[in-house]
A and B are shown apart, each in its own frame.
Chain A
């Protein structure tokens, strides 16, 4: 075991794993996190806590992780390199590990242009690839990049994100390979709607043997409405939602679209479960955490296994 995290154990035992995410609130109210955590608890092997996603200021991901951990949900800390230089990143890694956070997702982070503070200065001292390398170095070598010894190495199950749908497609799998070589133990993908293209991506990944070197968790997000689908397709860079997916949900009357979205999400998870090389799903029910049990249970993934 590299980290001893629950997620690592579940995956190592060969179970199809489930992760979800909790976005911390835009304020200091811990009860908002606790309320979300209650919907997540028991339904996942670990729960991502996002790090100022879309560059909108929120409660810190480390604080969010500790709040959900108090309630018995295993945290997975997301950390972006947009706001912290290597000094702050290393320091926060040590702090998170000291507080018992055992899973990490290393990200570059959305450009600050998209948030409330487009005038902010960005950092990008190191990039997400180098960040993965940094975490692995600290964990496995027990040293800082300077070579100086750590007083206790941080223990992390190291994750990275990939977007199989961004351009150019041809470097998407080589890029995953680079992340695996840099030290990624698992990967969570961008929301998948275009299953055809995702299968193409997986074929290329399998050809490189990557599915045997890294645990691939396929990202899904239930659509609440046809309107949401159209909005995401238009506004989120690299979000590939095929016309037939939108047509299917749009064919329902407005008050039935949310149910349809959940049904489609469950179907998709079931399909992903059968795909070779997929080790789990990452369910991003954005501001819809109350539906997690229905989705994950509906896909036949409850109760979650307990691995000692």
Chain B
């Protein structure tokens, strides 16, 4: 899923400062699962903003909305009938959702209520970690199902570097060395020949480096 973290309330207060009448839009997708932008978070943030505003001697009118997904036109369109009645939309969906609203509602300012994180997994309640950078050219079959681009701090294709100590990456004591994980897994799979193979230069054109990406499925259009 796409993960995220709430922006500090002070930053959000500053963003909404010019407005007295806004929509606070959540999303039932990924951000609900990682508990940063779902229906419940919309309610909590709306209450917090109202209270904070009142404490400053002003009020703010907030319409609380939660769309099924902010990244799909059919759900985004549900907001169209009333979006013009508000001065701004504060969205706590991921960056894709926020931008999609901005594209659809061209005359309404969009404000990001969360910082979008990464493509990751739930390690346990309250802990998420990154797994994929969406580079567009997956090599997981060669690396024991562990991504060198994402899990190695230097995205090495022939790791580990000299900074790997007892399975821990030198960048942070809480980060496991991705290449140690790859090696452990290749050994368990009896696939160490994949380790010693030379991997040619990675093509980054399918990643962000090739410019904004698009997928067109002719069979679905």
Q: Which residues of A contact B (CB under 8 A)?
A: 82, 86, 108-111, 113, 122, 124-130, 133-134, 145, 161, 163, 166-168, 171, 174-175, 177-178, 181-182, 190, 237-238
Given contacts A111-B170, A113-B171, A168-B183, whether A178 and B158 have CB atoms under 8 Å apart is yes
Q: Are A128 and B158 in contact (CB under 8 A)?
A: yes
**Interchain CB contact under 8 A, A124 and B154:** yes
**B205 to chain A: closest CB distance in Å?**
12
Contact of A111 with B154 in the complex, beta carbons under 8 Å: yes
| Contact of A181 (CB < 8 Å), options: B165, B183, B198 | B198
Contact partner, B196, options A113, A174, A190, A238, Cβ 8 Å: A174
- Cβ contacts B121-156/A at 8 Å (1 or 0 each): 000000000000000000000000000000001111
Annotate B144-178 by CB proximity to A: 1 below 8 A, 0 otherwise.
00000000011111111111111100111000010
Q: Are A171 and B183 interface neighbours, CB within 8 A?
A: yes
Q: Given contacts A111-B171, A129-B198, A171-B195, are A163 and B204 in contact (CB under 8 A)?
A: no
- Give 6 A-B contacts (CB < 8 Å), ordered by A residue: A127-B155, A127-B159, A161-B162, A167-B165, A237-B162, A237-B165
Q: Does B180 contact A (CB under 8 A)?
A: yes
| CB proximity of B160 to chain A, nearest CB, Å | 7
Taken together as a complex, chains A and B put the C-alpha atoms of A104 and B163 apart, in Å, by 22
Q: Is B200 an interface residue (CB 8 A)?
A: yes
CA distance A108 to B157 in the complex (A): 11
What residues on A are CB-neighbors of B177 within 8 Å? 167
B82 part of interface (Cβ distance < 8 Å): no
What are the residues of chain A within 8 A of B167 when measuring CB–CB? 167-168
- For residue A133, which residues in chain B have a CB less than 8 angstroms away from its CB? 198
Of all chain A residues, the one with the shortest Cβ separation from B158 is A129
Cβ 8 A contact of A167, one of B166, B171, B196, B202: B166
List the A side residues contacting B199 at CB < 8 Å.
129-130
20 additional A-B pairs beyond A127-B154, A168-B164, beta carbons within 8 Å, are: A111-B153, A111-B163, A124-B156, A125-B202, A125-B204, A126-B201, A127-B159, A128-B158, A130-B158, A166-B160, A166-B162, A167-B160, A167-B180, A168-B180, A171-B160, A178-B158, A178-B196, A237-B165, A238-B162, A238-B170
Q: Name A127's contact: one of B153, B158, B162, B196 (CB within 8 Å).
A: B158
Q: Which residues of B contact A111 (CB under 8 A)?
A: 153-154, 163, 170-171
7 nearest A-B residue pairs (beta carbon): A163-B162, A129-B158, A237-B170, A237-B163, A127-B156, A166-B162, A238-B162
Contact partner of A182 (CB less than 8 A), chosen from B159, B161, B170, B198, is: B198
Which residue of A has the minimal Cβ distance to B161? A108
B158: chain A residues at CB < 8 Å are 127-130, 175, 178
Is B201 within 8 A of A238, CB to CB? Answer: no
**Interchain CB contact under 8 A, B163 and A178:** no
Chain A nearest Cβ from B75, distance in angstroms = 34
Give, as a whole number of angstroms, the nearest-CB distance from B156 to chain A: 4
Please report the C-alpha to C-alpha distance between residue A129 and residue B198 in the assembled complex, in whole angstroms. 8
**Docked complex Cα distance between A109 and B170 (Å):** 12
Q: Give every chain A residue within 8 A of B156 (Cβ-Cβ).
A: 108, 124, 127-128
A302 to B175, CA, bound (A): 46
A177, B158: Cα distance in complex, Å: 12
User: Contacts A129-B157, A168-B180 hold; do A174 and B198 have CB atoms under 8 A apart?
Assistant: no
In angstroms, how far is the closest chain A Cβ from the Cβ of B51?
34
Tell me, in angstroms, the Cα distance from A110 to B161 when the chains sit together: 9
A238 adjacent to B154 (CB under 8 Å): no
Chain B residues within an 8 Å CB radius of A177: 196
Most B Cβ at <10 Å: residue of A128, A171, A182: A171
Minimum C-beta distance from B132 to chain A (A) = 17
Provide the residues of chain A in CB contact with B164, threshold 8 Å.
166-168, 237-238
B185-215 near A? 1/0 per residue, CB < 8 Å: 0000000000110111110100000000000
Chain B residues near A167: list those with CB within 8 A: 160, 164-167, 177, 180
* Smallest CB separation, A128 vs chain B (Å): 7
User: What is the bound-complex CA distance between A166 and B159, given in angstroms?
Assistant: 11
Query: A182–B198 Cα gap in the complex (Å)?
Result: 8
Contacts of A171 in B (CB 8 A): 160, 183, 195
In the complex, what distance in Å separates the CA atom of A177 from the CA atom of B157?
15
